[in-house]
Amino acid sequence: MKTSAIRAGEVSLAFLVVALTFSHSMAAMAMMVLPAVAPLVAREYGVDPSLVGYQISIVSVGLLISLVTVGNLSRKLGACRANQIGHGMVAVGVLLMLMPSIGFLLPGSLVIGLGFGLLAPSASALLIRFAPPARRNFVFSVHQTSIPLGGMVAALGAPVVAVNFGWRWAFASAFLLIVAAIALMQVGRKRWDDDRDPAAQALAGNPFAGFMSNWHDRRLRRLSLAGFSFCWAQFCVSAFTVVACVQALEMSLIAAGTVLMTVQIANAIGRMIAGWIADQLGSAARVLAWMGWAMLAVSIGFVWLAPVWPLWLTYLMFAVLGITSGAWAGILLAEVGHLAPPGQVGAVVSGTLVYVNLGKFAGPAVFSATYALTHSYGIAFALIAVPALVAVICLSTGKK
């Protein structure tokens, strides 16, 4: 009987991880469709493709609003329902971006961000509750492969769909996949939401409570600032790989998409390896610091980005940058969830994600501004060394 119960629990956990990973992947894919087809969208609307960085920043504004206002929604409605609502909002944002005017890209991006902000806190609440402590880092890291997996789908699929059928069909496909993800989550909702508290407040009384609470806890502050730095770098890489390959390396849109896909594959594999190593060492901070040092080194090499780079070097450099800038999320959020008081995982993770998404807001905007000033994607990528150094300093002074 005990063995049967253990196996049933493992099957239940496996389905939870699969459902969360698939659904989060589809939301991430929706967020990354525009960067993947930016040259075509920019051509239709008559704007510079490098402006895509500001679109990612608008998504981040929506994320921040969501995180500081409804971080407690999981407790009131249940984490699964909060997750479904977030995906529904992402789907609405995608529909707005389908409208035949550039003016709809901004509100569409904002709504996508509002929905996306509900996903990580609700998923973290579910995983902290159901994942065994000995495998926490690995389980979180597997789930966090959803971001690069979604990026892979966007990188590989969106350019092909856009070139053959028009870029709006890439967004329409994203909408349908998100609807499927919402339906999949409904299968486990009764079990996953049996701890909801209808009497709890959905809206934060003090929207900055989680942000300030994390700041006053030394361990959470260092992790939050490291997350800010890694996210800064990660979304610069995600947002500008295709544009840089097309404009600086003179590649076709589809070929540039394969470079972005390589970044996302490296990112996904790196997350699982990082989670496994962190569990073996019992130290998330040490693994994160190693990634920071590696990102610092490789980003400086982008100063020499040029069309003369052999193809193998292009793929290698972007892959290493993809691993070092993107493999952080699972182990960092697992550590934050572990440090959170009982019943406060969603709120504490939301507080951390405020810092993280400030990085997502600032990074692409600074990258776009750097390119506007220097007209060099190489210099803009090399400046990723700055947030890498910040991450190293935070983690090296606070190793567990």
- Residue with structure tokens 């890498």? 388
Q: Which of 166, 163, 65, 74 is nearest to 107 (CA)?
A: 65
Average pLDDT over residues 311-315: 92
Work out how many domains the chain is built from and give that number.
1
Backbone angles phi, psi at 38, to 5 degrees: -55, -40
Global pTM value: 0.72
pLDDT, position 380 = 93
On whether residue 281 sits in a domain, the answer given is: yes
Report which residue type is found at 112. Answer: I
Residues 6+ positions from 208 with CB-CB distance below 8 Å: 68
CB neighbours (10 Å) of residue 294?
Answer: 18
SS3 assignment, position 309:
coil
Of the candidates 227, 258, 247, the one whose C-alpha atom is nearest the C-alpha of residue 333 is 227
> What DSSP designation does 306 have?
-
Range of the domain at 333: 7-188+208-396
Q: Is the pLDDT of residue 371 over 70?
A: yes
CB of 154 closer than 8 Å to CB of 36: yes
Report pLDDT digits (tens) over 132-150: 887 777 888 888 788 888 8
Residue 347 within a domain:
yes
Residue 308 has pLDDT above 80, yes or no: yes
Q: What is the rounded distance in angstroms from the CA atom of residue 374 to the CA atom of residue 317?
A: 21
- Return the C-alpha torsion angle 293, 299, 304, 306, nearest 10: 140
Q: Is residue 1 part of a domain?
A: no
Are the C-beta atoms of residues 89 and 118 closer than 8 Å to each other? yes
User: What proportion of the chain, given as a percentage, has pLDDT over 90?
Assistant: 31
C-alpha 181, offset from chain centre: 17
The CATH number for 55's domain is: 1.20.1250.20
262-273 pLDDT tens trace: 998 888 888 889
Q: Is 201 among the domain residues?
A: no
Provide the token pair at 399: 């190793």
**pLDDT single digits (tens) 228-262:** 999 999 989 988 898 889 888 988 888 888 898 89
Average pLDDT value for residue range 339-354: 76
Is the model's pLDDT at 398 over the cut of 90? Answer: no
DSSP H helix total and E strand total for the chain: 20, 0
Tokens 């470079």 belong to 259
The helix/strand/coil state of 390 is helix
Q: For residues 79 and 123, is the Cβ–Cβ distance under 8 A? A: yes
Query: For residues 174 and 341, which has the higher predicted lDDT (pLDDT)?
Result: 174
In this predicted structure, what is the pLDDT of residue 79?
Answer: 87
pLDDT at 183 over 80: yes
User: 194-198, 239-243, 307-311 — which is least confidently predicted?
Assistant: 194-198
The SS3 call for residue 188 is coil
Q: Is residue 16 part of a domain?
A: yes
Q: How far apart are CA 277 and CA 270, in angstroms?
A: 10
Cα pseudo-dihedral 58, 374, 251, 312, rounded to 10? -100
Q: Report CA Rg, the chain.
A: 20
Strands (E), the chain: none
Residue 215, in any domain of the structure = yes
Model confidence band, residue 318 (pLDDT cutoffs 50, 70, 90)? very high
Structural domain includes residue 237: yes
Calculated CA dihedral for residues 144, 360, 71, 23, nearest 10 degrees: -40
pLDDT score recorded for residue 26: 94
Q: Is the residue at 376 inside a domain?
A: yes
